[in-house]
Structure formats: structure tokens, C-alpha cells
Amino acid sequence: MNKTALAPESTAIGQVRQFVAEKVVPRASAMDLEQRIFPEVFREMAEAGLFGLSIPRRYGGTEADYPLLGALHEELSRGFASVQNACTVFAMVCKPLTRFGSEELKERWLPRIAAGDVIPAIAITEPQVGSDIAKLETTATIENDQITLNGTKKYITLGQVADLFLVFARLGGRGIAVLVERESPGLQITPLPGLMGLRGNMLAELNFENCKVPASHLVGKIGYGFTHLANYALDEGRYTTASGSVGLAQACLEHSLMYANERTQFGEPLRKHQLVQKMLSEMITEIKAARELCAAAGRLREQGDPAAINDTLVAKYHASKTAVHSADHALQIHGASGCIHGNPVERFYRDAKIMEIIEGTSQMHELQIARTFSL
């Protein structure tokens, strides 16, 4: 891969698989322990074109189509789910910026993000507000071509290292989205270590106290923040998180198969024990189904079909639950050895649960799927 073009699909997937095997997997345990993605990994990801996957070529991106994007996110998550989730965050900022941002903002930021010179983050979640984005409490005012922000954002992925934040706030009764640079006066960033899973996400809390940014940093129209940009960003995040969940489940399966072949109990390999076979069979079947759901959603997204929104919800719902179920089986198969830090299965177990929470909880998806399904 390179920064300006993607190889044919099978080649690109193979290249990312090799990149993950060589650059990510050997460092995954250490990055999980230190609760960060190493700077050299960020640099190598940028050089491989991974930060530009959702950025048009005219702005220096690699512009993957949706089916390929999903396949690449699956490969990234097989190595280290936090790396995959970082790429999700890049997409959740760059896709709305590409669609709704001014040409000035796109030309200023997208090439630098694709090159890895700027790390973006999206700031929606607040201490009292999660999935119900219409209830955001962060406020904004506009006066003399300046936007002033007041409020708090919490659990912001990459917040500890991000250079640029896409911040959602309330302007009177209308939602807005605005780009805020890290060094903006009135912005204070506090690290939030200790996350159970996805420990490389480098979460932070953002406090805005009369934080001032130019009005030209507004992305989209006033009133578009909640109805257009936030929903669009979350929809993007659900798709790549669904694919990442498949990759995480696949990693659970691969480690389980290898261990079940090697580990002997009662005179024969674990894989010959019927109850272990049952767990492996469930993992194989659920993963294949989740992968097909993601592929179907990707095809609809690429076609611009409105049904893609619901299919993406279904894919994310099933794939994240599959990741949790597969991680549970993997830990059971590995027994005590899988519970020790340093064994990838222990990390998979913690990471998988977070997949059911980010970009909308499973319970939120159940409500949305049931309400929107039609014969």
C-alpha cells in the first residue's frame, strides 16, 4: 500500500495482513500494557496509507470502497483492536468533513490527516450523555466571527494525543459541529487511563471553558450537527466497528484452534473432545454469518442504498455479540493459561466487550432494528 492508491483488493488485504503481522502483533501486548499506541506504529500506519482509507485521493487519501474498507478493518482488528478503532475514529472525522465541510477546511486538514501529520478525534460523548445525542449539554455561542464553547466531553478516543477534535455542541436549540485545535485557548485535556478493553485508545476528558475558535471552523450548516453530521459519523463508525468485531472474533478462533490442536487432555488433543468441538463450531458459524452481514452492508453502502443504514445496524449488532461470544469460548478453551496477561486471549476477552458498547450499545441497536424493520 501507499498513500495515494490502493492495490487491487486481494493484494491490499494481503499487504495489510502482512503489515499487521510484522508491525502490530509483535507490539500488541506491550501497547495494551502501556495503554497507548506507540508513536512509531502511528508513523508506520500513515506510511502504509491506513489513515487515508476514508479520504478522497484528491486530498491525499487512499479512498477505499466500502467492501474493501470492511475487509481491511477486519485485518487490523485481528492484530490489535485498538489500532483498528483508531482508524475508525479517523473515518468518523474525515467522512463528515469530506461531505459537509467547506473546501477550505478540507484542503487544510484532510491531506495532513492522511499523511499522519495530524491525529483527529471525534468528541460527542459527555459525562451525562451517551447515545442520546439530542440531549448534549455542551453549548456554543457565535459572536464577531468566533465560536465560544463551554462544556465537557468524556471518553474521547485518541483524546490524549489528538491534534484536532470534531466537537458537537448545542447552539440555542440547534446542533453544530466545529473543528477545535488542541492548542485552542480554553480547552483543557485530562487523560483517562484504566479502560478495561481497547486499552490503546488513549481516552481523555475535554473541558471547554470559554474556548474560542474561528467561526470558519464550523463543519456544515448550523442545525446540521445532530441530524446530519453526528448520525453520519456514527453510521460510519458502526460499519468499521462491525468489521473490526469480525476480525477480533476471527483472532479468537485462530488462537483457539491452534491451542486445541496442541493441548492434550485425557490422552487426546482438546479438539477431539465433543464439548470443545461444540464451542469451535459455534465460533466458526457465527463468524461466517457476521462476515456476510458486514459484506452485505458494505455492498449497500457502496451503492448508496438507504437500506444500508439498517443493514449496518444489524451487522454491528451481530458482529459485536459474536466477538463477545467467541472471546468467551476462547477463554474457556484456553483455561487458566488464557487468563494471564500476555496471552492474547485475555486481551481479546476485554476488547470484545467494548465492541458491544462503542458507536451505540447493543441495546440501542435492538431498539433501532426493531423499530425500523419492515417486510
In tens digits, what is the pLDDT along the chain, a chain of 375 residues?
A: 555 456 667 788 999 999 999 999 999 999 999 999 999 999 999 999 999 999 999 999 998 999 999 999 999 999 999 999 999 999 999 999 999 999 999 999 999 999 999 999 999 999 988 767 778 899 999 998 999 999 999 999 999 999 999 999 999 889 999 999 999 999 999 999 999 999 999 999 999 999 999 999 999 999 988 888 999 999 999 999 999 999 999 999 999 999 999 988 888 888 889 999 999 999 999 999 999 999 999 999 999 999 999 999 999 999 999 999 999 999 999 999 999 988 999 999 999 999 999 988 888 888 889 888 766
- 284 and 324 in one domain? yes
Identified catalytic residue from 63, 205, 346, 359: 359
∠ CA 81-241-349, rounded to 5°: 45
* Residue 194, helix vs strand vs coil: coil
- 287 and 214 in one domain? no
**Residue 363 falls inside a structural domain:** yes
Confidence (pLDDT) at 9:
72
Which of 221, 254, 286 delimits the end of a domain?
Answer: 221
The CATH number of whichever domain residue 17 belongs to comes to 1.10.540.10
- 236 and 192 in one domain? no
The CATH number of whichever domain residue 320 belongs to comes to 1.20.140.10
- 125 and 62 in one domain? no
Alpha-carbon span 153 to 170, nearest angstrom: 13
* Residue 184, helix vs strand vs coil: coil
**Residue 3 falls inside a structural domain:** no
Give the count of alpha carbons within 13 A of 17, CB side only: 11
The candidate with the shortest Cα–Cα distance to 312, out of 359, 242, 255, is 242
pTM of the model: 0.94
Confidence (pLDDT) at 134:
78
- 264 and 126 in one domain? no
- 98 and 40 in one domain? yes
- 268 and 190 in one domain? no
C-alpha cell at 108: 487544510
| 171 CA to centre of own chain | 28
Q: Is residue 359 among the annotated active site residues?
A: yes
The candidate with the shortest Cα–Cα distance to 225, out of 134, 113, 94, is 134
**Residue 320 falls inside a structural domain:** yes
DSSP-assigned states of every residue in 88-133: HHHHHHHHHHHHHS-HHHHHHHHHHHHTTSS-EEEE--BTTBSS-G
- Looking at the chain, the number of H-run helices and the number of E-run strands are 12, 9
**Residue 272 falls inside a structural domain:** yes
Burial of 39: CB neighbours in 10 Å, binned 0-12, 13-18, 19+: exposed
Residue 298: C-alpha distances to residues 225, 304, 308, 309, 315 (Å): 25, 10, 8, 10, 10
- 146 and 112 in one domain? no
C-alpha cell at 177: 459541529
The candidate with the shortest Cα–Cα distance to 313, out of 246, 372, 228, 227, is 372
* Residue 232, helix vs strand vs coil: helix
**Residue 4 falls inside a structural domain:** no
User: Is 26 in contact with 37 (CB distance < 8 Å)?
Assistant: no
* Strand 187-191 versus strand 139-143 pairing type: unpaired
- 94 and 43 in one domain? yes
Which of 165, 190, 221 delimits the end of a domain?
Answer: 221
DSSP-assigned states of every residue in 344-375: HHHHHHHHHHHHTTTTS-HHHHHHHHHHH---
Q: What are phi and psi of 53, to 5 degrees?
A: -60, -35
Domain that holds residue 331: 225-372
- 142 and 111 in one domain? no
